[in-house]
Structure 1
Amino acid sequence: MTAADARRRDPRVDVLRGLALLVIFLDHIPNNAPALVTPHNLGFSDAAELFVLFAGYSAMAAYGGLFRRSGTAETLKRIALRCLRIYAFQAALLLATLFIVRAWMELTGLVPRFGVAPLLQMGLWSGLLRGLLLNALPNYLDILPLYIVLLAAFPILYAGMRRNAWAVLGLSALVWVLANLNPSLNLPNAAADDGWYFNPFAWQFLFAIGMALAAVTTAGTGLLPRRGWLAAACWIYLAVSLAQAAPWAAWGLPDLSPFAMAPPDKGRVAPLRLVHVLALTYLLFSSGHIHRLAMHPRLWPLEACGRHSLEVFALGCMAALIGRIVYRTFGPTWPLQTAVNAVGLFAMIALARALDRRMRSRRA
């Protein structure tokens, strides 16, 4: 693979991000059988960490080059418009979720155990207003606000990395450490006592790492240097993480966990989670086989999902909401689980393919 090939849109990022979006849909439905074999049950980190790291990678690949080609003013305008578009999707998702859940409550008399329940307890209109102001973030609708904050911070991070990438990563790491040592270092959230679930002061480190990864891979052959000892250490860590995190009882197997410990905190990207996602990223981005596999035509649906991540994520949120409502109303029976998961996954892939065709026809 040549340096010119690496400078094109990296198929690994789109394929892996597309896969992460499908996994997030499965994970956002409680008592969902397929979630027993998704990444959060196979190690310390899960799809959310990869999604944010790839968000940093994609921002660097897209807007880093735009700063050089089109100048600061035009790039800042593009970033602002992207943030506004993400916010519009967040507002639409919040509005739809509140009214769908409210209608379901009136029809069934059931009380939701998920997501927007704290906002509805504030009153429909009050909860909606506070949600639109990003002052009250419900479960399952809290990752896009994080993305807005991180993307808004991108110009500052980019300016720093052009001068000294290691200094920016060091400062970013320090903020991550402080967020882990002091839980009060967070943004307020009226829907939870401990602030934003995805603490921006912690998650910004993954975003910055993704930016640095893009800078390194696109400047060279597209691959990280492969070191046998480092790859072996990563595989060992992933194996220990699997043994520790796997739901052995749910799988009907004896418990193989080597330690008795609570799951590492996700909201602040606890150190065990951070090392896990970094080990996984190193193995993925130092392997030429993974790069060639990502270009396989049969993975095009996943690549399309990653390429249109915002729209696919929004549809996945709505599909997961319907799944939660169906399970809560009728119970997570096998026929319902099969239908909910099949329809949701098919709809997300179909939307991505339709958007991909439209994009190609416009270019043509």
Structure 2
Amino acid sequence: MYPRDPAAVAVRETPPRRSLKEALGRFLPLSRDTAGVPLGRDARLDMFRGLALVMIFINHVPGTLYENFTNRNFGFSDAAEAFVFMSGMAAGLAYSTAFLKERYWVAAARVLARARQLYFVHLTITAIALAMFAAAALWFGLPDVLETNGISVLFDKTPGALVGLPLMTYQLGYLNILPLYIVLLAVTPLLLPLGLRHPYLLVAGSLVVWAVVGVLQVNFPNFPGNGGWFLNPFAWQLLFVVGLLCGAAMKQKRSFVPFNPMLFGFAAALVIFIALWMRIPAIGAAGRSMLGEINDLGLPDHFTWFNKSYLDLPRMVHAFALFYVLSSLTLIRHFAASRYAAPFRLLGRFGLPVFATGTLLSLFGQILKSERQPDPVFDGILLATGLLLLLALAKSLDITTQMRRESVAAKASATAATDG
């Protein structure tokens, strides 16, 4: 045998060098035309929706060590903003084609049917939640739980509460997202046709409404209590509207907000700075002091503070910056489609049943923790059990859905064979 030529070996075995554009392409979309536009079903939406559901579940069992690791500890916004934005995206994906191709009232009826479904889900989980807390007080000697989450209003102002429950003006604590979503879906037949024809006009109008209601503190009434809704639809509609337009654009294989290197750099820097603000006390104190000084100059609180009910400017800006950064990273798209993200995708595909069940499980977790001191082991077992139950629910729904599809396909094949 002849000795191997080292030079030849080097030529054969040295991997080809990647260009800078190819290397960056693994992480960032480098084309304005393709940024954020999936070729098929976008796994990112399912993954992030599932991740938001996990965060919401953990946050809704307060007082655990593990809530310190959810996204609300690293930014001004939290999983609620993500949930509403992605709900808008899902609505845009689901209904935009109907408003383009079908008669208006047919398309509108589809949306309103979904809103009606959500309304009855909200009433159902509210009734079950009240029964859970009442049972804890009656049978397990935990009367104090009736003083939490606004439940005492039902006993102190019973006639008003019974009116407020179906009107959604009386909402238990931690059961605030579905009423917001129901209202936003109810007006989607007005928003989506305008957005499909004049998207930037819709965004401008949405911004004006958000700004005016924040400055004037306009809100839906909280009857029979005082104040307004915890998640104000007049303010939170901005997140939903932008999500709606993003979803409609995705349905048409385009991006509503194309990738721009300068915009991406600014958004990424903002997300990183806000994370440092949240984690480093000195930076946070300096930032709050700066916002306080700006507020003293006469700028309304809506633009300088962090009120969740009115989606104040810092929360809103952080949410949109975070969404833009995450949607721009090719790495995120690859991860979302990987097997590692499969549990989150599974949860996200069945968002409504997982959310409704997760809400009840989190309230049950609150009852179990009501007489206990924080315990990382107990809390970990509690949260892990709840998440495993949610995964089991989603998996069972996935299997049922697949069986239904196979049954329909088999019937179609049998019909075709008979006709042939």
User: Normalising by the residue count of structure 2, what TM-score does the alignment of the two structures yield?
Assistant: 0.79
How do 1:163-178 residues align onto structure 2 when only pairs under 5 Å count?
163-178=197-212
**Contact map agreement 2:246 2:255 (CA 8 A) in 1:** no
How do 1:45-60 residues align onto structure 2 when only pairs under 5 Å count?
45-60=77-92
Question: Which range is displaced more, 191-200 or 65-74?
Answer: 65-74
Matched, 1:290 2:322: no
Greater Cα radius of gyration, structure 1 or 2 = 2
Q: Provide the C-alpha distance between the structure 2 equivalents of 1:274 and 1:118, rounded to a whole number of angstroms.
A: 32
TM-aligned CA distance change 1:237 to 1:151, over 3 Å: same
Matched, 1:205 2:238: yes
What secondary structure sits across from 1:80 in the alignment? helix
1:80 match: 112
2:319 match: 277
Matched, 1:105 2:137: yes
Could you report, residue by residue, the CA deviation over 1:52-81 in whole angstroms, capped at 9, with x for unpaired residues? Answer: 011111101001112334433332222222
What secondary structure sits across from 2:63 in the alignment? coil
Matched, 1:242 2:269: no
TM-aligned CA distance change 1:128 to 1:348, over 3 Å: farther
Q: Provide the C-alpha distance between the structure 2 equivalents of 1:97 and 1:128, rounded to a whole number of angstroms.
A: 15
Matched, 1:345 2:382: no
**Contact map agreement 2:246 2:256 (CA 8 A) in 1:** no
Question: Which range is displaced more, 127-136 or 8-17?
Answer: 127-136
What secondary structure sits across from 2:287 in the alignment? coil
Equivalent in 181, 192, 215 of residue 181 of structure 1? 215
1:361 match: 403
How do 1:112-127 residues align onto structure 2 when only pairs under 5 Å count?
112=145, 113-122=147-156, 127=161
**Contact map agreement 1:23 1:38 (CA 8 A) in 2:** yes
Equivalent in 159, 168, 190 of residue 156 of structure 1? 190
Question: Which range is displaced more, 102-111 or 319-328?
Answer: 102-111
1:323 match: 365
Q: Provide the C-alpha distance between the structure 2 equivalents of 1:334 and 1:124, rounded to a whole number of angstroms.
A: 38
**Contact map agreement 2:115 2:185 (CA 8 A) in 1:** yes
Could you report, residue by residue, the CA deviation over 1:268-319 in whole angstroms, capped at 9, with x for unpaired residues? Answer: 1111111111111111222222222211133222112111111000111111
**Contact map agreement 2:137 2:143 (CA 8 A) in 1:** yes
Consecutive unaligned residues of structure 1, counting only runs of 5 or more, are 249-253
TM-aligned CA distance change 1:109 to 1:318, over 3 Å: closer
Question: Which range is displaced more, 124-133 or 151-160?
Answer: 124-133
Equivalent in 10, 19, 29 of residue 51 of structure 2? 19
What secondary structure sits across from 2:169 in the alignment? coil
Question: Which range is displaced more, 308-317 or 65-74?
Answer: 65-74
- How far residue 228 of structure 1 moved from its aligned partner, in angstroms, is 2.5
- How far residue 357 of structure 1 moved from its aligned partner, in angstroms, is 1.6
**Contact map agreement 2:196 2:248 (CA 8 A) in 1:** no
User: Normalising by the residue count of structure 1, what TM-score does the alignment of the two structures yield?
Assistant: 0.91
**Contact map agreement 2:64 2:376 (CA 8 A) in 1:** no
**Contact map agreement 1:187 1:196 (CA 8 A) in 2:** yes
TM-aligned CA distance change 1:315 to 1:255, over 3 Å: farther
- How far residue 334 of structure 1 moved from its aligned partner, in angstroms, is 2.5
**Contact map agreement 1:202 1:269 (CA 8 A) in 2:** yes
Equivalent in 17, 30, 34 of residue 62 of structure 2? 30
- How far residue 45 of structure 1 moved from its aligned partner, in angstroms, is 0.4
RMSD: 2.3
Paired positions, count: 356
Which amino acid in the other structure matches residue 193 of structure 2?
A
Which amino acid in the other structure matches residue 186 of structure 1?
N
Question: Which range is displaced more, 191-200 or 95-104?
Answer: 191-200
Q: Provide the C-alpha distance between the structure 1 equivalents of 2:154 and 2:77, rounded to a whole number of angstroms.
A: 31
Which amino acid in the other structure matches residue 307 of structure 1?
R
Q: Provide the C-alpha distance between the structure 1 equivalents of 2:96 and 2:57, rounded to a whole number of angstroms.
A: 30
Q: Provide the C-alpha distance between the structure 2 equivalents of 1:171 and 1:40, rounded to a whole number of angstroms.
A: 28
Matched, 1:259 2:287: yes
How do 1:120-135 residues align onto structure 2 when only pairs under 5 Å count?
120-122=154-156, 127-135=161-169
Which amino acid in the other structure matches residue 315 of structure 2?
R
Q: Provide the C-alpha distance between the structure 2 equivalents of 1:298 and 1:239, rounded to a whole number of angstroms.
A: 25
Matched, 1:136 2:163: no
TM-aligned CA distance change 1:223 to 1:157, over 3 Å: closer
1:146 match: 180
- How far residue 92 of structure 1 moved from its aligned partner, in angstroms, is 0.9
Which amino acid in the other structure matches residue 144 of structure 1?
L
- How far residue 128 of structure 1 moved from its aligned partner, in angstroms, is 4.6
